[in-house]
């Protein structure tokens, strides 16, 4: 499935006042090529991933999920390519290049069972002509967004808008998993409201055990 043959470059002022116009296609080509050489499994999780299941949207960077155990290999590849590690925690890493077209890459570092399972479930899409990239399922992207707005209430409206669009996607087929994510963060009321507002047939979209 070919998603698009061109993404518009987005210009913005980034961390440390780097100005860039990121070339998503070339950066993803680089990541797929170099990460495969080191057996680094990864999947898109951010704005580009949401666009695959909904409408194309403006985005300013690339968001990926990799296994925490693969981080050092990924770090070596990116630093050799001119990226600087700007932020690192147990769960998140941010790399930024001073080269305009290479832009910014944010990593979510999977080490808990739910996140590791997300990478395993991710499927390949032909995001650009002759360039296939693994992308998290819409259910798993919803799970990350529930976590995000639960941790940062200021994100609620933006993330909820994305969740609504992802729930409408024909590829979102496992409402049982979606419900589980809302339950983990004690947000079942949000889930029940969405099902009602979007007039979703819960039983038909709940994966059969």
Centre a 10 Å sphere on the Cβ of residue 137 and count the other Cβ atoms it contains.
22
Cβ-contact 36, 160 below 8 angstroms = no
pLDDT in tens, 183-192: 999 999 999 9
Beta strands in the chain (DSSP E): 11-13, 19-21, 42-44, 62-67, 83-88, 92-97, 104-110, 123-128, 131-135
What pLDDT was estimated at residue 205? 62
- The CATH architecture annotation of domain 11-136 reads 2-Layer Sandwich (3.30)
- Give the span between the Cα atoms of 201 and 187, in whole angstroms: 19
Query: What's phi and psi for 114, nearest 5 deg?
Result: -65, -45
Q: What is the pTM of this model?
A: 0.87
Mean pLDDT score, 10-16:
36
pLDDT in tens, 160-201: 999 999 999 999 999 999 999 999 999 999 999 999 999 987
Q: Burial of 16 by CB count in 10 Å (0-12 exposed, 13-18 middle, 19+ buried)?
A: exposed
Share of the chain above pLDDT 90, in %: 74
End-to-end CA distance of the chain: 28
pLDDT in tens, 107-150: 999 999 999 999 999 999 998 878 999 999 999 999 999 999 99
């Amino acid at each position: 499935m070919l998603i698009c043959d061109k993404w518009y470059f987005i210009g913005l002022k980034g961390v440390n006042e780097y100005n860039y116009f990121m070339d998503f296609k070339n950066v993803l080509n680089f990541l797929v090529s170099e990460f495969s050489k080191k057996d680094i499994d990864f999947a898109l999780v951010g704005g580009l991933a949401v666009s695959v299941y909904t409408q194309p949207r403006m985005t300013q960077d690339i968001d990926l999920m990799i296994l925490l155990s693969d981080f050092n290999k990924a770090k070596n590849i990116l630093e050799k390519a001119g990226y600087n590690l700007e932020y690192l925690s147990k769960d998140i890493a941010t790399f930024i290049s001073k080269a305009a077209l290479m832009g910014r890459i944010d990593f979510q570092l999977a080490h808990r069972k739910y996140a590791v399972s997300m990478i395993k479930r991710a499927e390949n899409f032909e995001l650009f002509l002759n360039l296939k990239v693994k992308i998290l399922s819409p259910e798993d992207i919803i799970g990350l967004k529930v976590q995000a707005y639960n941790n940062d209430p200021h994100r609620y409206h933006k993330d909820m808008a994305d969740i609504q669009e992802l729930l409408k996607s024909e590829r979102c087929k496992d409402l049982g998993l979606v419900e589980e994510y809302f339950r983990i963060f004690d947000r079942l009321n949000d889930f029940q409201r969405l099902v009602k507002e979007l007039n979703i047939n819960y039983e038909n979209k709940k994966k059969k055990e």
